[in-house]
Amino acid sequence: MAPLKYSMQIPEVYLLIFALLTGIAFGIFLEKAGFGNARKLVAQFYFTDMRMFKVLFSGIVTAMVGIYWLSYLGWLDITQIYINGTYIWPQVVGGLLFGVGFVMCGLCPGTACVAVFTGKLDALAVFAGIFTGLILFAEVEPGLEGLLSYSSIGDVSLYELFNLEYGVLTLIIVLVALAAFWFAGRVEERVGKKTA
């Protein structure tokens, strides 16, 4: 749960209702944006439609700026935000597997949920693959404990890793995002002209 549970004393039942409503709204907006369609999503890998990249990067930047201002106003204690442990090589391998799966299927777990609920059959196959992978991993995970904890650097955030103030890191990420949006737009234009 979000740290608001602790900093603002919000009862857990309200947080669960909020999470459910947020998830439903997120799914609706994903579908409205066309992200339940594998063809639209895979277009980013051909550099013809970078919409998904822009939306995800916008989400990251919005969350960072929101966390900064909530912290600055004293409404949120950044130290209470849960951070997954960082295991460099297992996460690199996992990221590569995820990326290959995304390119092959055109869907990630979130967009697969949207596609399933809008009746797309290819998403059912993706869902079956996701759950098969989860079950298989759960079965073999106890034997992989040493491998999975390999190259651990602990629960570290970017601002701790680079020894920067959170506000400074947020500004840098915002500037990187603006440059990336501009660059993605130029790539879309150039590739779009060639494919036309």
Other CB atoms within 10 A of residue 134 CB: 11
φ, ψ at 17 (rounded to 5°): -65, -45
- Please report which helix (H) or strand (E) contains residue 86, including its range: strand 86-87
What distances in angstroms separate CA 96 from CA 21, 99, 101, 135, 155, one per listed residue? 32, 5, 9, 20, 21
**33, containing H or E segment:** none
Do 61 and 177 form a contact (C-beta atoms < 8 A)?
A: yes
Range with top average pLDDT, 23-32, 106-115, 159-168, 172-181: 172-181
Phi and psi at residue 107, in whole multiples of 5°? -140, 145
Tokens standing for 41?
């999503």
CB 68, CB 81: distance < 8 Å: no
pLDDT at 170: 92
Lowest mean pLDDT among 68-72, 74-78, 131-135: 74-78
H-only helix segments in the chain: 4-7, 12-32, 38-42, 51-72, 88-105, 109-117, 121-140, 145-148, 158-161, 166-195
**In the predicted model, what is the mean pLDDT of residues 86-92?**
88
Residue 1 banded pLDDT, cuts 50, 70, 90? very low
Task: Give the Cα separation of 2 and 16 in Å (integer).
Answer: 10
What average pLDDT does the segment 54-73 reach? 90
What band does 52 get if pLDDT is binned at 50, 70 and 90?
Answer: confident
Residues 151-156, mean pLDDT to the nearest whole number:
82
pTM: 0.72
Mean pLDDT of 93-98: 90
With 0-12 / 13-18 / 19 or more C-beta atoms within 10 angstroms meaning exposed / middle / buried, residue 152 is middle
Which tokens go with 21?
A: 């409503």
Model confidence at 196: pLDDT above 60:
no
